[in-house]
Structure 1
Amino acid sequence: MSMRTRPAVLAATAALTLASLTGCNAMDPNQGGDTTCGDYMEMAPEDQREVITTFLEEKGQEDPAGMEVTLTLESAKLYCSTVGQTSDPIRNVDTG
């Protein structure tokens, strides 16, 4: 192995090791309904909207309407800030 390729191989190995230790979900904060209240409440509003859209799609709603996304987004915030624990997934939100 040449001296030039060795650092690249070491960097790639380190990246793969880190990815396997942290899991794939650590790279994508949008876990849909599996997103915990703790993670959800720390997200930026646009990220919360993406999580809720994914959650509604998981429930079988293709291309959920804007008002439905907004209502579910607010329901998740209310749930997580009142009865939800930081480790509870947002799928526990009762959206009717």
Structure 2
Amino acid sequence: MAAGMAAAISLAGCSSVINQGGDTTCKEYLTQDEATQNEAVIKMLKDENQQDPSGLQSTAARNSALAYCKTLGNENSKIKEAPHL
């Protein structure tokens, strides 16, 4: 029983962070660290292209989403709305 409770507690701590990929809002994206931003962008690119993006693609898309969210986007805009290849 104790092992089951420990597993439930450890899973509960992880369930609040879900990688939404391109559906990540600018408000969320701008508060994330670089590694988490990369994960969101890579998921977005994989969802769109059904393949792993190159390092250059993911870096360019991350920078594009960052620039978009800081300029044209608003807090409810999604990073998939940023121009990217």
Tell me if TM exceeds 0.5.
Answer: yes
Q: Which letter maps to 2:65?
A: A
Q: For residues 17-96 of structure 1, what are the structure 2 equivalents within 5 Å?
A: 27-96=16-85
State how far apart, in whole Å, the 2-side matches of 1:34 and 1:83 are: 17
SS at structure 2 position matched to 1:63: coil
State how far apart, in whole Å, the 1-side matches of 2:55 and 2:25 are: 22
Give the 4+ runs in structure 1 shifted more than 3 A.
none
User: Can you give the 5+ residue segments of structure 1 that lack an aligned partner in the other structure?
Assistant: 1-7, 20-25
State how far apart, in whole Å, the 2-side matches of 1:28 and 1:57 are: 19
TM-score under structure 1 length normalisation: 0.70
TM-score under structure 2 length normalisation: 0.79
Percent identity (aligned): 35
State how far apart, in whole Å, the 1-side matches of 2:51 and 2:79 are: 19
The offset of 1:32, in angstroms, is 0.3
**Aligned residue pairs: how many?**
76
